[in-house]
């Protein structure tokens, strides 16, 4: 297990905003920053996201993929400011924005009426899906869109790490006489045969491929068991929990979920870890949301601004760190 951790690439989720609808004294609207090795993602971009990125010492310009779930303001009102700042800082690299179709003309109008153009190209990818669909297929990861049930069209996202090659045990290779030129074949799992016909078994000179990790970002949605197959076994599930069970009828009316319902989804999908968020401003103390979800799924934690999680294959609550602003 120790060796596995050594060879795992960084996969970090940083919470930037946990509030539904409006900011509160302690909470910002929805946004989460994700790093997977050398790839940087932003899931939703509520108002104040740039400030939270600064608080967390995360670099704006490194973000290459922005994924917007839907066009309620608490999920994208930070985006015009973000893309403008990228241009003011003279970005030249491409930016990919995945989101609802109307987002493109909205941003284009803002840029044009502001009298300018951007210093870099933006590529729009439509998030309109009627069933789970792969939206980005990269050599190192994939992103699948999942249709959610909300008051307006809304898409959840699952980011999955790719690349399950075995890792080379260099000292063992040198000892067993396996040449460097054969390393690529070793990574694929092949055995090596020496000139004298001796077989060096792959397991003796390689480490197992690290477990592939995944992150599901599910917000905003009414309680919907149809999403369970699409998020089965994910390493970290972020699922909205706007309300407590005592406000379940309000959740139903507004197409949101309760903490208990988020727990039921996590339990059914057998995820490794559940993270709650998108809290109604009515709850100053959010711990009852945690207790309620834990009646259904024990390995649950609360999203808090600044919380950073390093995803491993195991439940990883203890790895969480909350910086003090
Ligand atoms: Zn929302
Ligand atoms: Zn919404």
pLDDT digits (tens, 9 = 90+) for 76-113: 999 999 999 999 999 999 999 999 999 999 999 999 99
Distance CA 43, CA 103 (A): 15
- Which band of pLDDT confidence, cut at 50, 70 and 90, is reported for residue 114? confident
- Span between the terminal Cα atoms of the chain, in Å: 34
Average pLDDT over residues 310-325: 57
DSSP code, position 150: S
Q: Which of 74, 191, 224, 285 is catalytic?
A: 74
pLDDT score, position 319:
42
Average pLDDT over residues 54-59: 95
Active site residue 74: yes
Average pLDDT over residues 167-192: 92
Share of the chain above pLDDT 90, in %: 86
Ligand nearest to the CA of 30: 1
Measured in Å, residue 141 CA sits from the centre of ligand 1 at 26
Ligand nearest to the CA of 72: 2
Residue range 226-259, pLDDT digits in tens: 999 999 999 999 999 999 999 999 999 999 999 9
pLDDT score, position 312:
78
Measured in Å, residue 72 CA sits from the centre of ligand 2 at 5
pTM of this prediction exceeds 0.75:
yes
Distance CA 310, CA 317 (A): 9
Measured in Å, residue 12 CA sits from the centre of ligand 1 at 23
pLDDT score, position 287:
94
pLDDT score, position 1:
42
Distance CA 40, CA 9 (A): 13
| Mean residue pLDDT across the chain | 92
280: its two tokens: 């109604």
Distance CA 221, CA 242 (A): 10
């Amino acid at each position: 297990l120790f060796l596995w951790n050594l060879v795992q690439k960084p996969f970090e989720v940083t919470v930037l905003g946990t509030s539904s609808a409006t900011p509160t004294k302690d909470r910002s609207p929805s946004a989460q920053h994700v790093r997977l090795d050398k790839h940087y993602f932003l899931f939703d971009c509520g108002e104040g996201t740039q400030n939270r990125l600064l608080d967390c010492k995360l670099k704006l310009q490194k973000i290459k993929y922005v994924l917007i779930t839907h066009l309620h303001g608490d999920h994208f009102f930070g985006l015009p400011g973000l893309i403008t700042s990228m241009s003011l800082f003279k970005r030249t690299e491409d930016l990919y924005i995945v989101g609802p179709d109307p987002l493109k003309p909205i941003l284009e109008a803002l840029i044009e009426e502001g009298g300018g153009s951007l210093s870099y190209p933006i590529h729009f990818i439509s998030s309109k899906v009627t069933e789970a669909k792969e939206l980005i297929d990269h050599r190192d990861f994939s992103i699948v869109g999942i249709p959610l049930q909300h008051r307006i069209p809304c898409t959840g996202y699952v980011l999955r790490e790719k690349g399950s090659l075995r890792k080379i045990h260099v000292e063992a290779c040198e000892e067993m006489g396996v040449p460097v030129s054969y390393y690529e074949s070793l990574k694929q799992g092949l055995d090596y045969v020496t000139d004298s016909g001796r077989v060096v078994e792959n397991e003796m000179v390689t480490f197992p491929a690290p477990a592939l990790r995944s992150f599901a970002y599910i917000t905003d949605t009414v309680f919907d068991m149809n999403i369970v197959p699409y998020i089965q076994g994910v390493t970290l599930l972020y699922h909205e929990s706007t309300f407590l069970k005592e406000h379940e009828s309000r959740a139903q009316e507004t197409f949101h979920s309760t903490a208990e319902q988020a727990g039921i989804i996590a339990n059914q999908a057998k995820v490794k870890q559940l993270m709650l968020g998108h809290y109604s401003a009515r709850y100053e103390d959010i711990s009852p949301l945690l207790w309620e979800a834990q009646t259904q799924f024990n390995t649950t934690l609360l999203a808090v601004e600044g919380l950073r999680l390093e995803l491993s294959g195991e439940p990883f609550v203890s790895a969480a760190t909350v910086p003090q602003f």
